[in-house]
Amino acid sequence: LVVLGNPVLISVISDGSHLHMHVYFFLCNPSFLDICNTGSCIPPILDSFLTVRKSISFFGCMVQMFLSFAMGATECMLLGIRALDCYVAMCYPLRYPAIMRKDAYVPMAAASSVAGLVDTVVQPSVAMQLPFCANNVINLFFCEIQAILKLACADIAINVISMAGSMLILLVIPLLLISFSYIVIVATILRTPSTEGKRKAFSTCSAHLTVVIIFYGTIFFMYAKHKSKSSVDPDNQDIVEALISLFYGVMISMLIPLIYSLRNKVVKTAVKNMLWEEKL
């Protein structure tokens, strides 16, 4: 579904001239990253299931971390930008076309990609400098930064500080922007007199809000520092962490194109038309 869904979404948006708008432009970047990220994770997982080989090279591990950071960081920034887009559409509908011009949304998307690329280069590069002299076993389905740092036999204070700064810029700030936008959006919708108007307004932002909840909810469970103090079996804890990381690395890449296409009538119609034309 990832390999088919994301390219279909990109093709539909690229081929449909009526979809050459910033709303759909923002969908192409994460879709491309989802393909790359899943392509680096799934083949080694399937290989480990089907063969006796359970290892991954250091370079392959770094590539997985690189693409995982690229997807996560860029997606966080784009979710914040799309929340701002919903805010402008809901609160300033008459000025919306003038505000969200091409010379406004293209630089925003480019800034998101640059921020994601910088974070992607910094975090794995700092991790690559660490010495690994223990039993290098990763209790996850693929390489993830926290699992790698657990294997280091040196001080990881610099890594922790850089990750904290990265999370502040790429997680917290977009989340604050999303929260502010939706607080104002909800207040605006509640002031709408007609029930039909409220329904259409909620439907407009429902796909984006669904992705925000799934994406940030998964990241929260992955990177939350506080852990339960209850007596949990370490093996069960490893299984839970592995399943959460698998959901982040694979399931989100599958769900995002489905959510955006199924919740958007224009995209859904374009996909149906493209598949029907190919069938003919």
pLDDT digits (tens, 9 = 90+) for 201-258: 777 778 888 888 888 888 777 766 545 544 456 666 677 777 887 887 788 888 877 7
Average of per-residue pLDDT across 26-33 = 74
Counted residue by residue, the chain has a size of: 280
pLDDT at 279 over 60: no
pLDDT at 20: 58
- Separation between Cα atoms, residue 34 and residue 40, nearest integer Å: 10
pLDDT in the model for residue 180: 92
pLDDT at 176: 92
Q: What share of the chain in percent tops pLDDT 70?
A: 83
Angle at 220 between CA 215 and CA 222, to 5 degrees: 95
> What pLDDT sits at residue 267?
67
Say which DSSP state 172 is in: I
- Please check the confidence at residue 271 and state whether its pLDDT lies above 70: no
pTM, 2 dp? 0.80
Q: What does the pLDDT read at residue 274?
A: 63
Q: Under DSSP, is residue 151 helix (H, G, I), strand (E, B) or coil?
A: helix
Residue 270 has pLDDT above 70, yes or no: no
Output the CA–CA distances (angstroms, integers) from residue 44 to 18, 48, 144, 227, in the order listed. 39, 6, 14, 29
Spatial CB neighbours of 26, under 8 Å, sequence gap ≥ 6:
78, 81, 82, 85, 105, 109
Quick one: tokens of 24? 């759909």
Host H or E run for residue 37: helix 22-50
pLDDT averaged over every residue in the chain = 78
